[in-house]
Structure 1
Amino acid sequence: MGWAGIRFWVFVVLVLGAPALLMAAGDPHATDLGKLALILGPAAFGLALNMGVDDRGRGAANWGRVGVAAAVTVLVATGAVAVALVFGAAQFQAAATTPGAVALAAVISALTSLLEELGWAAAGVALATRAHGRRWGVLLLGLVWAAWHLIPVWFRVGLFPDLEAGPPAMIAAFVVSCLIYRELLTTLQERAGTWLAAAAGHAAPNILLAGLMAAGLGGFGLGAGWMLFPAPGGLVFPVLALAALVAFRVRNRLSGRTPDPPDQAGRYN
């Protein structure tokens, strides 16, 4: 294993190991530090190991495609919410909230999504693809991304209560969703020439869902209805994300366009 492989696997060990060790202690203060390590770890470790953001030397970003990235994932999330509402797997409930509280939930979701993609898209994709190539690198990164989410689920610290309450099949569906979603976000990132497309694609549906939940969207059916959960973990979200990914691939094939190759250092945008 070369230096590129060592750096990627050091990233994996640190990103997963730091929060897991803290949460495993069982102490409330250690658990809070574990949550902080979970949130900050991908960006801190990824940027350090990658020596910065990976949009260097590839020309100007296509900002229109950054907007397209946000629109595509909002459509995926909106479709998943609509299906859940139509089939009764979610409903709007009376919520003692204010417009300010809804806005705050959306802002927090935007900031955490941006911070998350600083680790996964701005640095993690480069670390993974240098070590294992485009196809296997993004696949491995998707698995690590899924494991990163499931650490607090395993220790039941309340960050992802729906996954904690769901059946094992929901966890399996979540892992598949992460693989598809990471591939979609990476494709959007490559098309736009900047990691900010992945950040926009990640943040936009999170903002939508956080705002809707703050406004009263809830009552998710997690018995037999877990399949209609309107986010990764259900089945509708990954199916729609996969449909978007296939649409991009078909469009590229019909137009004769192929994704931009990595630069000489092996970087992908």
Structure 2
Amino acid sequence: MMFARLRFLVFVVLVLGAPAALMGAGDPRLIDPGKLALILGPAVAGLALNPGFGPKRGRIDWRAVGGAGLITLIIAALAVSVALVAGAAGFGGPRLESSAAVAALGGTLLTSVLEEVGWALGGLALAIKAFGRRWGVLMLGLVWAAWHLVPVWFRIGLFPDLEAASPLMLAIFVVTCVLYRELLTRFVERSRTWLGAALGHAAPNILITALIAQGLDPLAKAEAWFLFPAPGGLVFAGLVAVALVMLARKARA
């Protein structure tokens, strides 16, 4: 157990420390390498510290993989719809040209999948070995939240909405990351593959990116931050919580 916790601690230090060291060095030339370290760090560290890539989960349930993507797509679509109806979000921002939009969508898909190689494959196995299922996923969710907040702390423009967020919005963001990580872990367990988390992560990101490419401003009114249709908004957090309750009831049925 002690060795497992040490390995998880090394994972945390690598995924948070490497990008923070580069972004906080005060050299603008190190910002892009810092972003690269942020994106690749969880996958590289998770797989390096977890030989065998985690426990064998059996035959993949591809219906559950598809269901994971559908569930999070519905969550994102509902959150965006509420924000639009309430006037918290709106179309009117700059629209991307086709080539730029395709590049943005491709980048979103790639980074979402790379994230889950680190969090749902390597990182999840390390966390569960170190703390057990319940506390391991909680710890992993907190580290995942901190990983997002590293570039926010250094204000490099990677997550501008979070950089402008109030302390309360950031607190809700952390809570949402914990809930969302639990949901993505349920997808892994149901589908018996990390691909359940990967599709569950990628689907809403692709939807939001596609809408932003068409001019969506997801936080058109800063005072309505609680309707932000992504982690940090209360509606999004509530929908993730509802999905968790529904999956739990289905598992008991």
Give your verdict on TM over 0.5. Answer: yes
TM-score (norm 1): 0.91
Residue 106 of structure 1 deviates from its aligned partner by 1.3
Mapped pair 1:4 → 2:4: yes
Describe the SS at the equivalent of 1:166.
coil
2: CA distance, partners of 1:179 / 1:97? 32
Residue 52 of structure 1 deviates from its aligned partner by 4.4
| Residue pair 1:166, 1:222 contacting (<8 A) in 2 also | no
| Residue pair 2:95, 2:213 contacting (<8 A) in 1 also | no
Q: How does 1:37-186 map to 2 (within 5 A)?
A: 37-54=37-54, 57-93=56-92, 95-186=94-185
Unaligned runs of 5+ residues in structure 2 are none
Alpha carbon RMSD of aligned pairs, Å? 1.3
| Residue pair 2:142, 2:174 contacting (<8 A) in 1 also | yes
Indicate the residue corresponding to 1:259 in structure 2: none
1: CA distance, partners of 2:48 / 2:191? 24
Describe the SS at the equivalent of 2:29.
helix
- Residue type matched to 2:122 in 1? A
Residue 130 of structure 1 deviates from its aligned partner by 0.5
1: CA distance, partners of 2:136 / 2:99? 41
Indicate the residue corresponding to 1:201 in structure 2: 200
TM-score (norm 2): 0.96
- Residue type matched to 2:246 in 1? A
Indicate the residue corresponding to 2:232 in structure 1: 233
| Residue pair 1:221, 1:229 contacting (<8 A) in 2 also | no
Describe the SS at the equivalent of 1:108.
helix
1: CA distance, partners of 2:218 / 2:47? 39
2: CA distance, partners of 1:94 / 1:23? 28
Unaligned runs of 5+ residues in structure 1 are 256-269
Query: Residues 222 and 18 from structure 1, CA distance in 2 versus in 1: closer, same or farther, beyond 3 angstroms?
Result: farther
Query: Residues 52 and 160 from structure 1, CA distance in 2 versus in 1: closer, same or farther, beyond 3 angstroms?
Result: farther
More helix by percentage? 2
| Residue pair 2:173, 2:232 contacting (<8 A) in 1 also | yes
Residue 183 of structure 1 deviates from its aligned partner by 0.2
2: CA distance, partners of 1:247 / 1:96? 37
Moved segments of 4+, more than 6 Å: none
Indicate the residue corresponding to 1:25 in structure 2: 25
Q: Percent identity?
A: 59
Query: Residues 97 and 31 from structure 1, CA distance in 2 versus in 1: closer, same or farther, beyond 3 angstroms?
Result: closer
Instruction: Number of aligned residue pairs: give it.
Output: 253
